[in-house]
Structure 1
Amino acid sequence: MSKTITLADLQSWLAEQKTEWKPEHYDLIITYAEHPLYKRALETAYLLDRMHVTTVPQASAIFFVLGIPQEDQPEDLRKFIDNLFTLNKLSSFSTLQERSKSQETLRKMLLALADDVRAIVVMIAYQVILMRNARDFDPETQRLIAKNTAAIFAPLANRLGLARLKWELEDFSLRFLEPDTYKQLASKLDGKRKDREAYIEKIIERLKSLLGENGIEGSVSGRVKHIYSIWKKMTKKNIDFDELFDVRAVRIMVDDVATCYAVLGLVHELWTPIPKEFDDYIANPKPNGYQSLHTAVLGPENKTLEIQIRTYQMHENAELGVAAHWRYKEGSGASIDQKHLNWFRDFLHKELEEHEEINEDELEEGVFDDYVYVMTPAGEPIELMRGSTPLDFAYKIHTDLGHRCRGAKVNGKIVPLTYVLNNQDKVEILAGKQLQPSRDWMSPYLGYTFSNRTRAKVRAWFKAQHQENNLQAGKQMLEKELTKLNIHLAPEELQRLASRLHFGGVNELYSNIGSGDVTLNQVLTRLPSFDKQKKEEVTPDSIVRPKSKDMDTQKGVQVRGVGSLLINMATCCRPAPPDLIGGYITLNRGVSIHRINCSNYQNMLEQNPERRIDVDWGLESEQTVLANLHVTAAPSSDVLKEVSVLASNEGLKITGMTMKSDQNDSLLLDFTLEISHLDQLSRLLERLMQIPDIIEAYRT
C-alpha cells in the first residue's frame, strides 16, 4: 500500500525543509528527536508534503502529534494547532469507545472547524499514519482505530476527493475489522496476479497502439483495484470474486475533454461495451468533484475489462482532491478556492455516506453559518442555532431538563440564562427537581430563548396546565405590561380588544396569554385598530364623512373632520403607538395630542370640552415619536452604557437624558427616546430589568 520510509529518510527530508520552514519551527522540532512519536510525526508531515500541502500545516502536524505544550508553540501556528487538538479530542478512538454517536459527533464539530480545510486534511493524513502503524497497538485498539477510520475518515477523504488516502484508509480498516475476509480476497488477488498483470500489459500495449494510430497523445496504465472496493462490490451485488469484471482495469489519460470522448468511441469500436456499465462522470461529476469516463468492455479472450478515461487535470484532482486546489500564500491563512470550501461545507451538513442517519428532529431552518456547536459536560457536541442560550441547550438535550432548568454554567462559570452560546462552549445545566418553566421564556424578546422549537415546548407545558392558572397568570401578565407602559384600559375597552383578537371574552384572552398561545406583543399591535374601531362605533361623523377629505395626517396622526391643522405631540405624556390618544385644540399651537388618560388632558377637557377633537394613529405611517423612560439604578453602576447599548440594539435613538441621585445615592435617570411603536419600548424595558444593577424601569 505504501513504501516503507525509514527514520533516516524522514530526517533527510526534514533537513531539506530547513530553508522552507521558519527557523523557530525547525529548531524546536529538532529538540524532540528522542520523542517516542517522533517518527510518526515526521511521517504525517512528509505525507502532507507529498500532497502539496504547505509548510504551516506540515509543521503544525508535527507539533500536534508530539503534543508540544501550548506555551512552546509558535504564535503563528497556535490557532491551527488548537483546532487540531479540539478535533482530535472528539475523533480519537477513546472517544469512539465511550460514545456510539461519535460519527455524528465528529461531523458536527467538523462544521465548526471547517473554516480552514487544511486542519481536516491534517487529521486525515494523521489517521493514515496511525493505520500504517496499527501493528504497534494491541488488537482491541487496532479495531477501535479501524472503526473510526471506516466511519469517519475514509468518507471524509472521499468527499474531499483524496482518492489515494481514501483507498488506503478503507483497505486498512477492512484488514482489521474483517481480517478473514481481507486475507481471502488478498490471497485470491495474489494467486492470479501474474496472469492478470500479463493480461493488463497486453491491453496497455494495444491501447497505446490505438492512440498512436489515431494521432492521439496520451498515456495508458494499469489501475490497482483495492481490496475494500472489491469487497464492497461483492457485498452490494451479492456476487463471487470470479464474477467481478473490474479486477482487470486500465486508465487512459489525455489532454482535453473532447479527446476523452474520442477515445471512448475508439475503445467501443475495438471491443464490445457491456450494457449498463457506462458512467459519464465528466458530464455528471460526483459530489466530490470527481470526473472521468467509466466503461466496461469484453476484451481479448472474452474477459471483462474496466477502462477509465480522463484528462490529466481530472486525474490530479482525483488523486489529490481538495489539495489540488490550494490557493495559499504563506502567512495569509487558509484562502482556499471558495467553491471547494462551499461544497465541503455542504457535504458536512449531509450524512456521511451510509454511515449515519440524519435526525429529523434536529433539523431547523438556517444555513451553515447559522449554527454553533457546544459541548455537554461529558464532551458530547450539541448543534444549536446561532444565538441560542443555555435554555435552548437544555431543551435540546431533553424537554424535562429544560422545564427543570434553574441556571447554567458555561466553561465552569455561572452565566445568566440569556447568555448567548459560542462555538466549543462547555455547558452545564443547573436543574431543580420540579418541572417549573417560566412564562418569560415564551417571549422572543426577553432573550431567554432563541429557538422557536424551544418556545413551543414551553408553551405546550403551560397549555397543559389548569385553565384557571393560565387565566390568572395571563391577567397578571397583561396588567403588568400595560402598567409598565403606562396604559390604562377600561373594562369595555378590554372587551373590544378581546374581540379584535377573535376571542369570545376577556377571560379567554387572559387564558391564551397565560398559555402562551397569544403573545403580549400581538396584543400591543392590536391596540391601534381597536382604538380606531371604538371611535368609528361611537362617532357619527366618522361614518358620514369621507376620509380623503375629512382626515388630516401629520406626524403619524389622523385628525378627523377638519382641514389642515398644526399638530404637536404633548410633552407631558409623550403618546406613542398604540396608546389611545385624543386631540385638544389649543389657541395658537394647533392640535395638541395626548394620551387619553393624561391628567393634563383630562383637566383641559373639564374646562373646555368643546376643544376636544377625535384623532387616531395613521395606520401606514412610519413616523417616529418621542417616549419618556425612567430608570433607577444602584450607585456606581454603568447603567448609562447599558441603556445606550440596549436602545441601539432595538433601533431606538436617545434624544435626551437627565441624571441625578436620591437620598440613598441611587441613580435616577430619565431618557427621551425616538420610537415607532410601544413594543420596542416594551422589549427595552424587559431587557433593562434583567440587569442586576437596575432597580426599576418604566415609561413615564
Structure 2
Amino acid sequence: MTEIQEKDKIEFLVHYKKIYSVLRDEWSIERIGLLKQILLNYLQTCDDTTQDNVKNELWADIRTTIVAIDEIGLKQSSVYAILLIHPVSNGSYSVERARSDFGEDTSVILNGLLKISEFSDKKSAVESENYIKLLLSIAEDIRVVFIMIAQHLRMMREAKSATSSERLDLSVESTYLYAPLAHRLGFYTIKSELEDLSLKYTDRETYDFIAGKLNETKRSREKYIAEFIEPVKQRLNNTGFKYDIKGRTKSINSIYNKLKKQKIEFENIYDLFAIRVILDAPLEQEKAQCWQVYSIITDMYQPNPKRLKDWLSIPKSNGYESLHITVMGPGSKWVEVQIRTKRMDEIAERGLAAHWKYKGLKSESGLDEWLKSLRESLDDKETNLTQKLSDFKLDLYDEEIFVFTPKGDLFKLPKGATVLDFAFSIHSKLGATCMSGRVNGKNVPIKHVLKSGDQVEINTSSHQTPKQDWLNSVVTSKAKTKIRQLLKEEAGKQVDIAKETLLRRMKNRKIDLDDSHLMQLIKKLKYKTVTDFYVDIANGKNDINWVIDRYLEIESRSNEIRESHSTVSAEEFTLKTPGIENTSADELIIDQNLTGIDYKLAKCCNPIYGDEIFGFVSSQGIKIHRFSCPNAQDLFSRYGYRILKARWSGKTGSSNYTIILRVIGNDQINIVANLMSIISKEEGIQMRSISIDSNDGLFQGNIAVMLANTSMLEQLIKKLKAVKGVKSITRLN
C-alpha cells in the first residue's frame, strides 16, 4: 500500500468539485463529505502497479456522472451508485454500508450495476446469454439502464483514441442496443448522437461527406429559417405568449438513412431541418396554447394534412408529447414545425427520467407495463436466445397506434398490430380463445391489421386453442411469448400420450426399448429434438408400427456390427486422423485470434486486404464485410449479436481481389488509352474489364482490376486521378 500522492489528491478534488457544484443543493454536507472520504480511501487502497488504472476508472466514473446529471437528469441515488461501484467491486466498501450510508435506493441500483459488471468486462454486451442478463437487469430497475446509457455515451465520445476493434464493439452495441433503448425511453438527443458516432467510427467517409454538405449549406439554411420564423414571431408576439422559436438540423445518421432508403442526392432532401416552437405555458393552458400556435402557423403557411402528428391528445408510451405539422414555406419548400411546451420539451430531451419529475401531473407512462412484458419474455426458460432477442427488438418499436375497446378504453400497440395482438394485450385467456374480431362494427379475421382510432371487439369460443401459424399473425412480444407457452403446454400433453402409446405397443410386441437405439432412429429421421419426434407420432404423421419397424432395423444392424467386430491389440491399433473439412487461407483472423476458419467475402461490398472489416454469421456461414458496406449499419442495428471481429494477418495480402473503379471525365482523345496504359504499367495489378459510355462531351464507365491490397488501390487511384481530363475516380461497392 502507498500513500496517495498530493498531486493525485488535488486532481481528484478538482474532478470531485464538478459533482459537488451540480448537486450541492440536493445533498447534505455530511453525505458529501462521506462520499469524498470513501473515494479517497479507495484511491489509497491501490498499489504502485494498479494506481493508474484505479485513477482512470474513478475519473471515468466522474465523467459518466456528469453525463448522467446534465443529459439524463439522474438524481442522488443514481449518482451515489455510479461513484461507489468501483469501491464496492474492489472490496474497500460494501453494498450493506451503502444502504446504511446512502439509502435503500442506492443499494438497489448498486446491485443492478454489479450484476452487469460481472460479465461486461469479459465480452461484448450483445453476445449470447450476457445480453439476456443485461436486459433482465434493465427490467429490474430502470435506473440501471439510465446509468448504462450515460456510461455508453461517455465511452462513445471518448472512443476516438480506442482501437478499431474496440470502436467496432462500441458501435455495434450502440446501434443494436443502446440507441434503440434510448429511443424507447425518450432520449432522442442521445439516440441521435450514438447513431452519428457509430456511423463516424464505422464509415468515416460517408460521415464526413454528409457533415461537409451540412457545413456548406449552413449559411443558406440559417437564412431560410430566419425568413420562415420572422413573420411567425410577429404573429406570436401579438398573442402575449411566452415562447422560444428555433431551427433544428436533422442528425447525420437520419440523413444517411434517407439517402440510402430513397436513393436520392443530398441536394434533393427537402426536410433537412425542423422549426421548433417552445411555449412557457401553465399546465392547465398547455394544450390550448399549442393548438392556438398551430392555428396561427397554418393560417400563414399551407399545411399538409397527411403529415399532422398529434401527440398532445394521446402521448407516446414513453411520455413524449408534441404537435408536429408540415407546412409549405417560402420558395415552395416543405418545413416541419414542432409545437410543445417547456415541460414537454424537457421530457422530449430527457425522456422518462424527466417524466418522473412531473409525476402526478399526467397519467403514468407505459414504462411499467413495457418492463413487465419484457420480463415475461426474458424469463421464459423454454424460449431460445434468438427468439428472445427478436422479441426484445420488436418491443423497441418507433411508431405506435391507438385503438379502443367498445367501452372507450385506450390501448397503445406497435404499428402493424393485429386483432390477435389486441386480444392478448387485454388478457392472455382472451387471446387464447380469440376466434375473430369486430372492428368499427365489421367482422374481421384475427390477422386483420389495426389502424389508429379503430374500435375493436373480440369474439371468443371455448373450443378455440392457439395454432402454430398464430405466431405469423402477431407482432407484439407479449402475444408471441404467450402463444409459444400455450403451444408448448399442448405439445407437452401430446408428447406424454405419444410416449405412453409407443411404450405400450413395443411391450405388446415383446420389444425392450433401448434409449441409444431410439436416439439413433430420431437422428436418422432428421428430427432436431425428441419432442418433435413424439409430436409427429401424436398427430399421426408417423405411424407407430412404422416407427417400431425402423427401430428394429437399427437394433438388428447394431447387433450385427457388434458380433462381426474382432478384438484389436494395442500394438495393431492405428489412430485415424480425421480430415479437415473446413479450410481457408490464414489471411484473415476472425474473432479471438482464430485462423483457418471458412469464410466468404461479401459481394455487397467486395472487401480487399487492408480494408477495415468485420465478420457476420449468416445462414451461409461467415461473411466478411467492410465497415463502409451499405448494409453494415443495418446488420449492426438488427443483428448485433451475430457480428464478429475480423482483421487481416501479415503486412500485405497474399491473394488477388477484384474491385471496380467508377471513372468520370471529359471525353478527350486518348484519355481511355492513357488510363489503360497506367494500369498496365502498375506492378501486381491486372485489368479484367473496361466499359465506357460517352455522352455530350463527358464519359463515364467502370474499370475492373485485380490487385492485392488497399495500398496498391490507393496508389492506383492517385495516378489515375492525375490523368488530364479525369474528374473523379471512386471505388464501387
Superposition TM-score tier, normalisation by shorter sequence: 0.3 to 0.5
Larger radius of gyration: 1
Point out which structure has higher relative CO (alpha carbons under 8 A, 6+ apart).
2
